[in-house]
Amino acid sequence: MAHDALPTPFAEDVLDIVSEIPSGRVMAYGDIAAVLGRGGARQVGQAMARFGAGVAWWRVLRADGTCAEIHRDEQVRRLQAEGVALVGQRVDMTRTRWVP
């Protein structure tokens, strides 16, 4: 190992927001970037890909309610366990979107 395990300041801010999402609620990548006031949806996605393992990563998904390809099945299962309203494999964003 012995390489970059240090989150950037931007990534720390992203993780901080994710850790505030209550159970049963979700946020889109772009929502987090908007709350942060800088960066963009892709930057949030990258931060999660690298450092999201320590937070409730399954509560972050795409703006249209679909999950990240890489985890969609497990993500859907975890969301269902928290009582998130789903339509197939798609989250009902209008009901479950959370904003701090």
- Give the binding site for DNA (CB under 7 A): 4, 8-11, 28-31, 38-46, 48-49, 52-53, 57-58, 60, 62-64, 68-71, 75
**Closer to DNA by Cβ: residue 22 or 90:** 90
DSSP states of 51-84 as a string? HGGGS-GGGEE-TTSPPPGGGHHHHHHHHHHTT-
Cβ atoms of residues 96 and 63 within 8 Å: no
**Closer to DNA by Cβ: residue 9 or 100:** 9
Alpha-carbon torsion (22, 58, 93, 11), positive or negative = positive
* Closest separation in Å from C-beta 27 to DNA: 9
- Is residue 34 classed exposed, middle or buried when 0-12, 13-18 and 19+ CB atoms within 10 A define those classes? middle
* Closest separation in Å from C-beta 16 to DNA: 14
* Closest separation in Å from C-beta 83 to DNA: 20
* Closest separation in Å from C-beta 30 to DNA: 4
**Closer to DNA by Cβ: residue 24 or 91:** 91
